[in-house]
Chain A
Amino acid sequence: EPEVTQTPSHQVTQMGQEVILRCVPISNHLYFYWYRQILGQKVEFLVSFYNNEISEKSEIFDDQFSVERPDGSNFTLKIRSTKLEDSAMYFCATTGTGFSEQYFGPGTRLTVT
């Protein structure tokens, strides 16, 4: 069964450093999303991406965040200058039509020290 994959599974970084989280979507899916879950809190939407551009972004997704699909397969989330409060699980999700269920990857645990 096709699945979304994410790398790395765990990333530890120092405050102020840049991180790139990677996702490989299900191959025929066209809509891509990033969510995050801070420990003990709900899953929160960050950004959606379709046709090589951002469709919608939340208040969390400020100028420190960016997304791209550099090679037509990977979908990346970059945080330019990490803060302690960026520590969370980051989930990539994809869907085929945008009107159906989203399939989530296993997540990347980001720890900012």
Chain B
Amino acid sequence: DQQVKQNSPSLSVQEGRISILNCDYTNSMFDYFLWYKKYPAEGPTFLISISSIKDKNEDGRFTVFLNKSAKHLSLHIVPSQPGDSAVYFCAAKEIQGAQKLVFGQGTRLTINP
């Protein structure tokens, strides 16, 4: 039951350009969405989040866009830097209940110099 999907297992972007990572969800009860970054042998690191009452949230080089009608969100990184190379996970949770996170499969982002 893949409630959160990241359809691109990998993405390669040139340094300085924009990286766009996509995520789709099926559960209409999700109303809080997060992006995590993960390096090998480390835990996921929180990057940015967005509530369902918003359609955009920005933090420095990172911007998350939410399209509720399409059940789609995206993470934009601009400009992309070599240190951004990692696996990026989209996650979602319902505001009710214990707020467990449901993760997508991840997208491996590689920034090329």
Contact = CB atoms under 8 A, between A and B. Distances in A.
Interface of A: 4, 6, 31, 33, 35, 41-45, 48, 50, 55-56, 58, 91, 93, 95, 98-107, 109
Contacts of B36: 104
B44 interface: yes
Q: Is the interface of A mostly helix, strand, loop or mixed?
A: strand
Interface in B88-102: 89, 91, 95, 97-102
A41 B34 CA distance: 19
A33 B42 contact: no
Contacts of B45: 104
Interface in B34-80: 34, 36, 41-46, 49
Chain B interface mostly: loop
Contacts, number: 63
Interface of B: 32, 34, 36, 41-46, 49, 89, 91, 95, 97-106
A41 B106 CA distance: 9
A53 to B, nearest CB: 11
B44 A99 contact: no
Contacts of A44: 103
B63 to A, nearest CB: 16
Nearest to A106: B43
Contacts of A100: 49
A33 B46 contact: no
Contacts of A42: 89, 103-106
B8 to A, nearest CB: 14
A109 B101 CA distance: 20
Contact of A56 (B91, B95, B98): B98
A4 B43 contact: yes
A104 B106 contact: no
A47 to B, nearest CB: 9
